[in-house]
Amino acid sequence: MALSGFDDLLIPCTRVEVVAHLSVTDSGVRQLLRCDFRDGFGPEDLSDSEHMTFETILHGEEGENPVVVFNTHPLAIAGIDFPDIAVLPPYTFTEDGISITLRGVSSGISKFLALAREIMPPDKVKVINEEDGEDGPRSLLGEKQWEVVQAAVQWGYYNDPKGVSMRQMAERLNMARSTLGEHLHNAEATIMKWLVEHE
């Protein structure tokens, strides 16, 4: 965190988690934060940071009062200029460092990392190529499940309004409607579980 431009956040807080980007402008990013404040500090103290301006507190569940700030850090602004990447919340700032997750095309991520190294060199970068990884949901589906999911997407089954009915899909795939429904249901359940476990 030292010399990152974010280290002054750790004066009022032991931990800051960015949970959402509320709006993006050319001058910065409005963010929703969860903060663990040190004794004697509160949300207003975030404005003492060079790049953060406290705006408001949102009243949530008991003990959960997310804070809205406007972040003008060069790294936050740099993320705006890369159309082929996304900085994915949540990400955290602690005394151990900053943890940020990016998703996008390889060239965009490489350019962003090059810029990040100029601003604050990362000590660890972990790259996962989702196309090659065996941990993606595709690798968890059987061949028939994958076949019906592809057909459902291509033929507009998930569109609103539907482009094809379950009966029409079953006829096109030469498959019993109950079998198609079972494959589709099992594939959807597998994909949903994978999404929840990996977020």
- Are residue 28 and residue 89 in the same domain, yes or no? yes
Does the structure show a pLDDT above 90 at 98? no
Q: Are the CB atoms for 130 and 104 separated by under 8 Å?
A: no
Question: Which helix (H) or strand (E) covers residue 185, if one does?
Answer: helix 177-198
Does the structure show a pLDDT above 80 at 188? yes
Tokens of 34: 């969860």
Cα-Cα-Cα-Cα torsion 187, 190, 193, 196, nearest 10 degrees, comes to: -60
Residue 41 — very low, low, confident or very high, per pLDDT cuts 50/70/90?
Answer: very high
Does the structure show a pLDDT above 50 at 194? yes
Tokens of 68: 């809205």
Q: Does the residue 55 lie in any domain?
A: yes
Pairing between strand 52-57 and 67-71? antiparallel
Q: Does the residue 175 lie in any domain?
A: yes
Mean pLDDT for the chain overall: 82
Q: Please tell me the predicted confidence (pLDDT) of residue 191.
A: 86
Residue 102 — very low, low, confident or very high, per pLDDT cuts 50/70/90?
Answer: confident
- Are residue 180 and residue 114 in the same domain, yes or no? no
- Are residue 161 and residue 75 in the same domain, yes or no? no
Burial environment of residue 163 by CB neighbours within 10 A (0 to 12, 13 to 18, 19 or more) = middle
Residue 133 — very low, low, confident or very high, per pLDDT cuts 50/70/90?
Answer: very low
Average pLDDT rounded to a whole number, residues 171-178 = 89
Q: Are the CB atoms for 182 and 189 separated by under 8 Å?
A: no
DSSP, collapsed to helix, strand or coil, labels residue 123 as coil
Residue 130 — very low, low, confident or very high, per pLDDT cuts 50/70/90?
Answer: low
Q: Please tell me the predicted confidence (pLDDT) of residue 139.
A: 73
Q: Where is mean pLDDT largest: 9-23, 32-46, 111-125, 174-188?
A: 32-46
- Write the CATH number for 181: 1.10.10
In tens, the pLDDT along 67-92 reads 999 999 887 777 766 777 777 777 88
Tabulate helix, strand, coil % of the chain (nearest 5): 40, 25, 35
Q: Does the residue 128 lie in any domain?
A: no
Count of domains forming the chain: 2
- Are residue 44 and residue 98 in the same domain, yes or no? yes
The boundaries of the domain holding residue 183 are 137-198
Q: Please tell me the predicted confidence (pLDDT) of residue 132.
A: 47
